Chain A
């Protein structure tokens, strides 16, 4: 009896010890050093996994930074300058300024300015509403107001107010998910400073646009003529601002007869 127990215990212990020794030896002689850099970089990143950097997520970006040459350190927009600086310190490369971005809605056709051509009772999403005659609004270029952008926002920065989307720039992390989600592509990413924005996306002729929405750009070219730095061009019946040239003087804002050029401020609302 005792012999049976002893032999069982001894043989299992022996097999266990042999396995353990084998593993210890293998771990000692064949260990691959974990990449410390990747681990450290991953700790610097905000962990929002938004994909604004162009990689699969924070893990993917950290891996690319640690293991590949020449990956830029300033791709993380939510992390901003601080993250870029931390990563540059770890990698020992020169710090590059992160161009923080903020989303802006290029439509100001709220319920006071435009009206509906029909009543839509289908699936409550912009993508679905747009499939039926371009949505229920008179203007088919503008905000549909069902909040597809608000649904994807990881930081609750978007709310639908008075029929159009508003973005709280204090909360916006600049990931660009809303810009991708908008079926009318009226959300654009902009450098995060006080900026004059053209808050209209209507490309119809002035008279028609005006009929549909009081705040629509009528392509009068006043802003184009007024702009001292030549940053504004009117193309396809819609003004657009080249932010490389724009000095943010606000002259266009003052002359716009319909008031669709507005200054975006950091609280997210447009001032006029």
Chain B
């Protein structure tokens, strides 16, 4: 249990996919203008990460490993995640239209999100079991959500400020993303001493 909590908190704060591993930067910059949208995207990513992990872990361990096909991980995982997201969208549209409407375009966008692929690949290269990799996927998703929500707040402050003309728009966004990312490095020692 302690092991799982350790994995979750490490992946939220220390190994945050957006702010320390720089995966999933595209939605991080693209959909963080408004808090509502950022939260929606974060929740959708968390959901897909969990789902993708629970589909790819068995495929890796029961199909790829016995046949010695580990080198096909990337292509097989992309295939499976894309199909899975599409399936989830169809199911949501039919049975939970409200959730489908609120996730909106974010769900299909996640299909090609590198953070999702990164999580499942890293889980396997770290040698996690099914439970541990699920915990890791959950933690990474929550970490993504946290980064999105924090950065949406920062973006809203930028909107009302008046930076020099050459910094307006994307440059100031990238600079502030770098500062937010720097602040996350402060967590590196915290988790280790908490669980020591």
B75 near A12: Cβ-Cβ < 8 Å: yes
Chain A, residues 1-36, CB within 8 Å of chain B (1/0): the string is 000100110011001100110110011001110000
Which residues of chain B come closer than 8 Å to A22, judged between CB atoms? 83, 87
B92 to A, closest residue via Cβ? A30
Question: Chain A's interface: helix, strand, loop or mixed, by majority?
Answer: helix
A19 near B80: Cβ-Cβ < 8 Å: yes
Which residues of chain B come closer than 8 Å to A32, judged between CB atoms? 93-94, 97
A30 to B, closest residue via Cβ? B94
A263 to chain B, nearest CB (A): 48
Known A-B contacts A30-B90, A30-B91; the reply to A8 vs B69 at CB < 8 A is yes
Which residues of chain A come closer than 8 Å to B95, judged between CB atoms? 30
Complex CA–CA separation, A262 to B91 (angstroms): 63
B80 near A15: Cβ-Cβ < 8 Å: yes
Which residues of chain B come closer than 8 Å to A23, judged between CB atoms? 83, 86-87, 90
Complex CA–CA separation, A128 to B63 (angstroms): 69
Which residues of chain B come closer than 8 Å to A27, judged between CB atoms? 90
Which residues of chain B come closer than 8 Å to A20, judged between CB atoms? 83
B97 to chain A, nearest CB (A): 8
B67 to A, closest residue via Cβ? A7
In chain A, residues 150-184, which have Cβ atoms closer than 8 Å to a Cβ of chain B? none
Known A-B contacts A7-B69, A30-B94; the reply to A15 vs B63 at CB < 8 A is yes
A145 to chain B, nearest CB (A): 29
Kindly state whether residue B51 has any CB partner on chain A within 8 Å: no
Which residues of chain B come closer than 8 Å to A16, judged between CB atoms? 79
Question: Chain B's interface: helix, strand, loop or mixed, by majority?
Answer: helix
Known A-B contacts A12-B72, A12-B76; the reply to A19 vs B91 at CB < 8 A is no
Which residues of chain B come closer than 8 Å to A15, judged between CB atoms? 59, 63, 76, 79-80
Complex CA–CA separation, A8 to B75 (angstroms): 11
Complex CA–CA separation, A19 to B56 (angstroms): 13
Chain A interface: which size bin?
A: 10 to 19
In chain B, residues 66-83, which have Cβ atoms closer than 8 Å to a Cβ of chain A? 67-69, 72, 75-76, 79-80, 83
We find that the number of chain B residues with CB closer than 8 angstroms to chain A is: 21
Which residues of chain A come closer than 8 Å to B84, judged between CB atoms? 19
B75 to A, closest residue via Cβ? A12
B125 to chain A, nearest CB (A): 20
Which residues of chain A come closer than 8 Å to B86, judged between CB atoms? 23
Which residue of the partner chain, among B72, B75, B79, contacts A19 with CB atoms under 8 Å? B79
In chain A, residues 84-115, which have Cβ atoms closer than 8 Å to a Cβ of chain B? none
Chain B, residues 3-20, CB within 8 Å of chain A (1/0): the string is 000000000000000000
B93 to A, closest residue via Cβ? A32
A26 to B, closest residue via Cβ? B90
Which residues of chain A come closer than 8 Å to B91, judged between CB atoms? 26, 30
B69 near A11: Cβ-Cβ < 8 Å: yes
Known A-B contacts A16-B79, A19-B79; the reply to A26 vs B72 at CB < 8 A is no
Complex CA–CA separation, A27 to B89 (angstroms): 10
A224 to chain B, nearest CB (A): 50
Which residues of chain A come closer than 8 Å to B64, judged between CB atoms? 11
Which residues of chain A come closer than 8 Å to B76, judged between CB atoms? 11-12, 15
A29 to B, closest residue via Cβ? B94
B94 near A8: Cβ-Cβ < 8 Å: no
In chain B, residues 95-136, which have Cβ atoms closer than 8 Å to a Cβ of chain A? 95, 97
A60 to chain B, nearest CB (A): 14
Which residues of chain A come closer than 8 Å to B80, judged between CB atoms? 15, 19
Q: A11-B69, A15-B59, A19-B83 are in contact. List 8 more A-B contacts (CB 8 A).
A: A11-B76, A15-B63, A15-B80, A19-B79, A27-B90, A30-B91, A30-B93, A30-B94
Can you give 9 A-B contacts (C-beta < 8 A)? A7-B67, A7-B69, A8-B67, A8-B69, A11-B64, A11-B69, A12-B79, A15-B59, A26-B87
Task: In the A-B complex, list the 9 residue pairs whose CB atoms are closest, starting with the nearest.
Answer: A19-B83, A30-B94, A26-B90, A7-B67, A32-B93, A30-B90, A26-B87, A8-B69, A23-B86
